[in-house]
């Protein structure tokens, strides 16, 4: 019995693509585009019929991205592949990820300051 247990312990772990993280500009841009549409990873997975982890793996370099995979995300985000390539190569300038930066600042505010920020933000809503 102990020989079998030792044999199981020595079995090599199967190498999977998701074990290797290679961040790409394509993945980062997909994440930016998803966030620009105010979509969560969960929502995109549900719309596409894939798991949240597959979306995360695509954005964070744990999944190989083919043109077809990228195109399927772009369809959900409302962009063409041509626009994606232009953004990727800098032909279309992307604004800073201001929404994400603002949310991070808001998370660090104490309640009294948060009330003031909320009142200020409400002045922009028509």
Q: What pLDDT score does 77 carry? A: 94
pLDDT at 12: 60
Dihedrals phi, psi of 71, to nearest 5 degrees: -60, -35
DSSP state letter for 17: G
What is the token pair recorded at 11?
A: 């079995």
At 102 the pLDDT is 81
**Minimal CA–CA distance to 115: which of 124, 103, 106?**
106
CATH number 3.30.70.120 given to 18-93: no
List the pLDDT tens digit at each of the 126 positions of the chain: 555 555 555 556 566 656 677 788 999 999 999 988 889 999 999 999 999 999 999 999 888 899 999 999 999 999 999 999 999 998 887 766 667 778 888 889 999 898 998 888 889 886
Residue 121: both structure tokens together: 């933000």
The pTM of the full predicted model, rounded to 2 decimals, is 0.63
Q: Supply the pLDDT for residue 17.
A: 58
How far does CA 88 lie from the centroid of its chain? 16
Given a contact cutoff of 8 angstroms between Cβ atoms, the answer to whether 29 and 84 are in contact is yes
Find the helix or strand (DSSP H, E) in which 48 lies.
Answer: helix 41-48
Cα 38 from chain centroid (whole Å): 11
- The pLDDT value given to residue 23: 82
Burial code (b: 16+ CB inside 10 Å, e: under 16) for 10-38 equals eeeeeeeeeeeeeebebbebbbbbbbbee
The residue behind tokens 């597959």 is: 54
């Amino acid at each position: 019995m102990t020989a079998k247990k030792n044999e199981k312990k020595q079995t090599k772990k199967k190498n999977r693509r998701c074990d290797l993280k290679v961040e790409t500009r394509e993945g980062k841009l997909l994440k930016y585009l998803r966030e620009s549409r105010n979509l969560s990873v969960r929502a995109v997975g549900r719309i596409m019929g894939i798991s949240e982890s597959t979306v995360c793996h695509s954005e964070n370099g744990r999944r190989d991205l083919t043109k077809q995979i990228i195109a399927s995300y772009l369809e959900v985000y409302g962009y063409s592949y041509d626009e994606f390539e232009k953004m990727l190569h800098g032909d279309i300038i992307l604004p800073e990820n201001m929404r994400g930066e603002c949310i991070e600042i808001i998370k660090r505010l104490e309640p009294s300051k948060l009330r003031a920020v909320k009142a200020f933000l409400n002045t922009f809503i028509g």
